[in-house]
Amino acid sequence: MKLIIIDYGSGNLRSVENAFKKTIIDNKFKINIEVTNDLQNIRKGDFLVLPGVGSFPDCSKGLKVIDGLVETLSEEVIHKEKPFLGICVGMQLMVDYSLEKIKTSGFGWLKGYLRKIKISGSDYLGRRYKIPHMGWNNLNVSDKKHPILRNISEEEQFYFVHSYYLDKSLESEVLANTIYNHEIPAIIGKKNYFGVQFHPEKSSFAGQKFISNWIKL
Amino acid sequence: MLSTRVIPCLDVHNGRTVKGINFLNLQDAGDPVEQAKLYSEVGADEICFLDISATNEQRKAMFDVISKTAETSLVPLTVGGGVNSLDDFRNLLNSGADKVSINSSAVYNSTLINEASFKFGNQCVVLAIDAIKNFKMPSGYEVTTHGGRKKTQIDVLKWADQGVKSGAGEILLTSMTTDGTKSGYNLELTKLITDNVDVPVIASGGAGKPEHMIDAVLKSGASAVLAASIFHFGIYSIAEVKKEMSNNGINVRV
């Protein structure tokens, strides 16, 4: 089987590749990883991962520069129902639109839009809220039976770094939230496509468990 | 609830961890890749490498260290030291760094923060500020470069504000007065910055015991605490520090 990490010029591909490689080796999955932006190769993939760091408009532009990529993703994920995971901005691209810098549309696979995290007020220690929401945070799981969260307790923490969050999402499409001043969807998805606001590739053991759960779905 | 981060920092010279006082009498102190792996396994929330190599030739060894660390330590990795250009950013990020910290070059190349954050995103641009007390400055602190040796006549608060506006996603704030003393972080300086900027601030310079970390968080509002020698010399483990922080009501990742 082949797992494709989609390379559209958006940052930390090495980290994503390293983490998936480790999960695959540790679990003895029979999967090869390929980092590519070639549409033919993407079509041959059995698992598709869309990473993304930086701003929503930049990532969106990066995708559109590769002629036919967005259409290919939609064909492979929505019609052929291949397993898909969007990470950070890769997750954000799955929803309707973002208000970061300028209103930019996403794929519209899931409901909601991105808006800036609210930082009014102070936290439990009286510190001002800062932006980005940066660091390790735990999940409040809505669907405790979902296999993507197998063996992951609510105490476990994942590494987040983002300034925009998904608002007006559908309750049925949010599998877990995290709290930073307010609720922030952390895992979204349905059917064969999921997105995570955190970085499983940088989330140590918890991230490894999550990646392995996703592959096993 | 978001955890307060505890970050060990390693000084790297020619691809090896070194120890020394004020960059003098450097002694070999092991393999940074192995040390980063150990730190990440015992609860380091991020790893920070400071490359103190003097020549480009020595600096090349860093790319290998970063790429091996990125394969074995699955926590965020910040690398700084000698970063002067967008190419330096690109090379470090491509090697596997998640964030790049810039210090002197941000002062002497005023557009670098802007360009780097535009190109790679705010989340990977860490503005490292080395500050000293100077009563003549409006905020009482002055920015220094070159490990504290050069003064800039720039006010620290103005500089932090400008750095954030230019696109820095985080500030790594080191008090050069307390750095290396193990007498505690400069709480006044840290509070000055955390009160006035919107991005997370990492307190650095002077950690000698867990109380110092607790003070930096509770009294100065730091989002993260960085330390080098107390972890490196095994005076306190990361777990011990986190336990003390937790006993004082600070949420940490265990």
* Predicted confidence (pLDDT) per residue in B132-152, tens digit: 999 999 999 999 998 888 999
- Which residues of B touch chain A, with CB atoms under 8 Å apart? 1-5, 40, 45, 67, 70-71, 74-76, 93-96, 98, 120-124, 169-170, 194-195, 198-201, 217-218, 221, 223-224, 249-251, 253
Put simply, the answer to whether B95 touches A14 (Cβ < 8 Å) is yes
- Report pLDDT for A92: 98
* Predicted confidence (pLDDT) per residue in A76-115, tens digit: 999 999 999 999 999 999 999 999 999 999 999 999 999 9
- Tokens 């009014």 locate to A120
B163 vs A102: CA distance, rounded Å:
22
CATH superfamily of A2-216: Class I glutamine amidotransferase (GATase) domain (3.40.50.880)
Structure tokens at B230: 């107390």
Its pTM stands at: 0.96
A3 vs B155: CA distance, rounded Å:
50
Calculate what percentage of chain A has a pLDDT beyond 70. Answer: 100
Picking from A53, A125, A128, the nearest residue to B123 by CB comes out as A53
- Contacts with B122 from chain A: Cβ below 8 Å: 132, 163
Structure tokens at A94: 């799955």
Put simply, the answer to whether A137 touches B199 (Cβ < 8 Å) is no
ipTM > 0.85 for the complex: yes
Put simply, the answer to whether A18 touches B221 (Cβ < 8 Å) is no
Put simply, the answer to whether B169 touches A132 (Cβ < 8 Å) is yes
Residue in chain B closest to A22 (alpha carbons) equals B71
Q: Is A173 known to be catalytic?
A: no
Å from B11 to nearest chain A CA?
22
Q: How many CB atoms lie within 10 A of CB B249?
A: 11
* Predicted confidence (pLDDT) per residue in B72-100, tens digit: 999 999 999 989 999 999 999 989 999 99
- Contacts with B249 from chain A: Cβ below 8 Å: 124-125
- Report pLDDT for A151: 93
Output the CA torsion sign for B114, B117, B119, B124. positive
Å from A27 to nearest chain B CA?
16
Put simply, the answer to whether A130 touches B201 (Cβ < 8 Å) is yes
Q: Which of B175, B239, B240 is nearest to B201 (CA)?
A: B175
The domain ranges of chain B are: 5-247
Q: Does B134 or B180 have the greater pLDDT score?
A: B134
Å from A80 to nearest chain B CA?
32
H or E element at residue A71:
helix A69-74
- Tokens 């360009």 locate to B115
Pairing assessment for the beta strands B150-155 and B141-145 based on DSSP bridges = antiparallel
Put simply, the answer to whether B70 touches A11 (Cβ < 8 Å) is no
The domain ranges of chain A are: 2-216
Asked whether A196 and A203 are in contact (CB, 8 A), the reply is no
A84 vs B134: CA distance, rounded Å:
55
Q: pLDDT band for position B157 (50/70/90)? A: very high
Q: Which of A59, A88, A133, A156 is catalytic?
A: A88
Picking from B75, B199, B217, the nearest residue to A202 by CB comes out as B75
A194 vs A38: CA distance, rounded Å:
22
Q: pLDDT band for position A74 (50/70/90)? A: very high
For domain B5-247, give the fold: TIM Barrel (3.20.20)
Residue in chain B closest to A119 (alpha carbons) equals B198
- A97, β-bridge pairs: A105, A113
